Structure 1
Amino acid sequence: MLLPLSKRCKEFSVDLEKHVAMKKKYLIFDRSINDADSSTIRRITENIIGCVKANIDKKEKEKRDYSQSFIHEILKEVRKGMKSVPDSANYRFNKDYAIDLSLHLCGMAAERFKAMHSAFRKANDPAVYLE
């Protein structure tokens, strides 16, 4: 049985084994991620999540209706954050990270977008207004 969407999307945590790939150096894989790298990975993830939440907050304050482009903005923010890894780092985010973080953010955003659409419709639909 699947958990309700609100239970599944509460918090995203980076699984270093699943979400991070090590870069090759001199044809050798260094499999260890030090504490500084781990901290940077978490900070990048928190920044991505924070930017997406701030963007949704802004749209809610503007009392806008939902648009499909909002999902694309979330995906673009994830890609942008993944590219923020320093070139000197011995790791990179992989596709699993992009997919899992995107699903988490879209699931979280879906509830807010649904409420945003309902509020917009209630405020702007003449039929709802007349009732």
Structure 2
Amino acid sequence: LLLPLSKRCKEFSVDLEKHVAMKKKYLIFDRSINDADSSTIRRITENIIGCVKANIDKKEKEKRDYSQSFIHEILKEVRKGMKSVPDSANYRFNKDYAIDLSLHLCGMAAERFKAMHSAFRKANDPAVYLE
């Protein structure tokens, strides 16, 4: 069952069967995700994607060069978002969610980082400066 996200996050879809594990409650698994849980899952995912995009936007505006630490920041944001699931929730995100969302975000970011690096090199090229 795929959980559709808003249009701004349309490239990534949460697959509830693949990305979400139910918590054990009284030694049994409650296998159903209700509408409130679905809404929370969607909100958390959209928030993670939004935070990563905002962070990249900020770096682009600062006209910074690419750094390997940018990828680590994306991964940290995914972990932080996964930990934001309320303790009272009957579910948790699993490793497949972390991997799939991280790959999606890093793939999206790679193109933007490549453009940032090219713009930075062009702006800081001594040959262009001396002309």
What is the TM-score with the length of structure 2 in the denominator? 0.91
Q: CA deviation at 1:125?
A: 1.6
Flag the 1:58–1:107 CA change in 2: closer, same or farther, 3 A: same
Q: Percent identity?
A: 99
Flag the 1:116–1:6 CA change in 2: closer, same or farther, 3 A: farther
Cα deviation 1:78-115 (Å, max 9, x = unaligned): 00000000000000000000000000000000000000
Equivalent position SS for 1:84: coil
Q: CA deviation at 1:3?
A: 23
Over aligned residue pairs, what C-alpha RMSD do you find?
Answer: 4.8
Flag the 1:3–1:35 CA change in 2: closer, same or farther, 3 A: closer
Q: CA deviation at 1:13?
A: 0.6
| Aligned residues between the structures | 131
Flag the 1:2–1:84 CA change in 2: closer, same or farther, 3 A: closer
Flag the 1:3–1:118 CA change in 2: closer, same or farther, 3 A: farther
Q: CA deviation at 1:6?
A: 19
Equivalent position SS for 2:31: coil
Equivalent position SS for 2:52: helix
What is the TM-score with the length of structure 1 in the denominator? 0.91
Distance 1:114 1:56 in 2: 12
Unmatched 5+ stretches in structure 1: none
Cα deviation 1:2-45 (Å, max 9, x = unaligned): 99999999710100000000000011000000010001000000
Unmatched 5+ stretches in structure 2: none
Flag the 1:64–1:86 CA change in 2: closer, same or farther, 3 A: same
Flag the 1:90–1:8 CA change in 2: closer, same or farther, 3 A: closer
Distance 2:24 2:18 in 1: 17
Flag the 1:84–1:6 CA change in 2: closer, same or farther, 3 A: closer
Distance 1:15 1:5 in 2: 11
Tell me: higher relative CO, structure 1 or 2? Use CA pairs within 8 A at least 6 residues apart: 1
Distance 2:32 2:115 in 1: 43
